Structure 1
């Protein structure tokens, strides 16, 4: 089972009309999406976050339960649910404006950290919950406590509208690097964090710090995997793009699901990851992300969806 840590929220898609805006509310949040994506890919997932007792929070809990996500680690909070207003650019890429100060997902304290048993093989974290307080410091403490016993996966998934200071994002990555085994980052986030940096050289520096697998996703160009053995590129898939909301989360869920299925979520197994296995894992994740791009919103694929897509190809 994979424990996913981070925010659960509502994305409000705003479409301008002659008289104002039409709002389409969708459940979301990057870690929430990853947990759902794992479950849809038949990989057991648990979710650790603060869930509000308000209307939106109850709906989030219900949605997670209906997807089969284990909620024994979720913490009930009498605080509002984070709301994110999403607008789409001409290319379908999302722009977010978050309303989350004092929200339930941010209020995780050190005392809320769960005791984990042997059913948890890996921990995934990312997005702004790894940075805002008090949840950021709390989750960092969990990672430091557990990294010697379980694989740690991290996707910065930066949100400048929540934290604009890139130095704070870089500082958190530095704090995590000695404890993270799998680091996935988009090319866009990489450029925002390290303008002009050579991605291969940067990935190599992470590997030297102890990261076993670094992955850079680059939209239609595909994904680049880096291990101690070198670099591997898997090309993207051509699809009719509805939007790209949730594509990175879909890739992340599929990456972890494929690795879990192959028994690779062990630090020693990751160190020995070969090129053929990595190619298959990245191809599976690219396929999952492409399916999500063909749908509106963060509608992540099931294992049956992927099997059907692969059969057509």
Structure 2
């Protein structure tokens, strides 16, 4: 199966608690594409990159992993985010980004799956292009979405929730963090949000909770996974690695099959995704595991920490 990811690339300028700075290729959709390529998947990223040093750095990073990069219009400069890390490796972001995606005829063949998310799915004017592509392709492709909420860029709360829910309604699989839910639906429990979103259309909803693990919801199953204890370097890209691993497991499933996934397949997906995130937080920047690393990590995680409630 081929994957098409549509969304932003961002140069992450990571400032450590000691004041040091490092530049990492980033952007949630770009990270998902990179993670899929690291797992050996056939993936194309439709994005925007400027012809500047950070743009070339990001393009080389993606292509080295095997991602095909298609550029739908070049911005004046490549988007950037200053990432501040606290003493526990937690990340906060300050963005310099514009999203004006344009696209003609895609060079990629009809994908089997389309992934969207983050800034690109809700930021005008480029978000209109993203949604138009999803609507054009979804009759023949499954769709996933990660809101990856950035409050500073979301604008009016009510309008932002409506934009997010439009993306949810187009999707078969949705992944969000507990921080996303706290901003979108203050005070709501994860199962309440999952029920709300599933009523809009997705067969599978996943909620990540950092060190508290993750929860998966379908119409018949609620499954949790604990996070393995790891030494956290930083949390940059952990959710994107989780998403890549989910899509790797689901990549051969059609829309009808997704709705009927059994507990065994769901447990494996959750364990594999949680293991991918654990590997990523153990090293600096958005550096997801390759297939051999993930296979080894999944085995350790499943034997020691996986469980169903």
Instruction: Give the TM-score, by structure 1 length.
Output: 0.90
Task: After TM superposition, give the deviation of residue 44 of structure 1 in Å.
Answer: 1.5
CA distance in 1, matches of 2:105, 2:242: 27
Q: Report the equivalent of 1:229.
A: 220
Aligned partner of 1:10 in structure 2 is 11
* Partner Cα separation in structure 1 for residue 136 and residue 299 of structure 2: 42
The partner residue of 2:211 within 206, 209, 220 is 220
1:307 corresponds to 2:308: no
Shift of 1:22: 3.8
- Offset at 1:161? 2.4
The aligned counterpart of 2:273 is: 285
Counterpart contact for 2:12–2:25, Cα < 8 Å: yes
Q: How does 1:127-206 map to 2 (within 5 A)?
A: 127-206=118-197
C-alpha deviation, 1:93, in angstroms? 0.9
After superposition, give the CA deviation of every residue in 1:69-122 in whole Å (9 maximum; x if it has no partner).
022x33351521011111112321101101124xxxx1213x44637533x111
State the Cα deviation string for residues 128-156 of structure 1 (Å, max 9, x = none): 11111211111011112222221110000
Deviates more, 1:48-57 or 1:285-294: 48-57
For 2:276 and 2:86, locate their aligned partners in 1 and report how far apart those are by CA, in whole Å: 22
3-state SS of paired residue (1:77): coil
* CA deviation vs aligned residue, 1:161-186 (integer Å, no higher than 9, x gap): 22343323311122223311101000
Q: Which runs of 5+ in 1 are unaligned?
A: none
Give the C-alpha shift of residue 16 in structure 1: 7.1
1:107 to 97, 100, 109: 100
Say whether 1:45 aligns with 2:37: no
| Deviation string, structure 1 residues 19-75 (Cα, Å, up to 9, x no partner) | xx543111111111111101111122110011211222122211111110022x333
Work out the CA distance in 2 between the residues paired with 1:254 and 1:294: 16
Runs of 4+ aligned residues of structure 1 deviating over 3 Å after TM superposition are 310-313
Tell me how large the CA RMSD over aligned residues is. 1.8
Question: TM-score, normalized by length of structure 2?
Answer: 0.91
Contact 1:9–1:83 (8 Å) recurs in 2: yes
Sort the Cα spacing of 1:147 and 1:182 in 2 relative to 1 into closer, same or farther, 3 A.
same
Which of 93, 96, 109 is residue 117 of structure 1 equivalent to? 109
Q: Which residue of the partner structure matches residue 24 of structure 1?
A: 22
Query: Quick one: distance in 2 between partners of 1:196 and 1:307?
Result: 37
Corresponding position of 2:307:
none
In the alignment, the residues of structure 2 paired with residue 189 and residue 308 of structure 1 have an alpha-carbon distance, to the nearest angstrom, of 30
2:73, 2:100 within 8 Å by CA — same for their partners in 1? no
Q: Give the Cα–Cα distance (whole angstroms) in 1 for the partners of residues 126 and 266 of structure 2.
A: 33
Instruction: Verify the 8 A CA contact 1:53 1:76 in the aligned structure 2.
Output: no
Q: Distance in 2 between matches of 1:148 and 1:271?
A: 16
Q: What CA distance in whole angstroms lies between the structure 2 residues aligned with 1:222 and 1:149? A: 33
CA contact (8 A) 2:225 2:270 kept: yes
